[in-house]
Amino acid sequence: MGFAVLGGVFSEGVDLRGNRLNGVAVIGIGLAPRNFERELIKSYFSNRGRNGYDYAYVFPGMNKVLQAGGRLIRSEHDYGVIQLIDDRFLSRKYVNLLPEEWKDYKIIN
C-alpha cells in the first residue's frame, strides 16, 4: 500500500506499469488552497463573464485528481480500480469533468 498527496511527486511523476499498482483512492476533490495568485485568476475570469472560481480552483484541483488516477492506467494492458472518496464527485459539475472511461461507476455506501 502506498500513500501520496495530490499534486505531489508520487501522484504525478511515477510510472508503475503492469500489476505494480492496481488501485488508487482519491480522497477529496483536490481544490487548490486560496492564495493571491488564485484570487487573481478568479477575478480575471469572473470579469470576463466566466466562472472564475472554477478556473482558479475547481479545474486545477480536478487536474490533480485525473493525474493521480493516471498513475493506475499507463498502457492499454493495465487495469485497476479508482476510488473517488468524496460526495462532491457525484455532483453534475464534477461528473462532467471526469473522463468517459470513469463514468461507468458504482456507488458504495
Note whether 53 and 42 are within 8 A (CB): yes
DSSP the chain: -----TTSHHHHH----GGG--EEEEES--PPPP-HHHHHHHHHHHTTTS-HHIIIIIHHHHHHHHHHHHTT--STT---EEEEESGGGGSHHHHTTS-GGG-S-----
Digits of tens for pLDDT over the chain (109 positions)?
566 677 776 656 666 766 777 888 888 998 888 999 999 999 999 999 999 999 999 999 999 898 888 877 777 777 788 899 999 999 999 999 999 988 888 888 7
Cell of 7: 499534486
- pLDDT, residue 90, reads 93
- For residue 21, what are the contacts with CB-CB under 8 A and spacing of at least 6? 2, 71, 72, 80
Residue written as cell 490533480?
A: 64
Return the number of other C-beta atoms located less than 10 Å from residue 61's C-beta.
Answer: 20
- pLDDT, residue 103, reads 85
* Alpha carbon distance 58, 34 (integer Å): 12
- Tell me the pTM: 0.83
- pLDDT, residue 25, reads 87
- pLDDT, residue 2, reads 63
- pLDDT, residue 69, reads 83
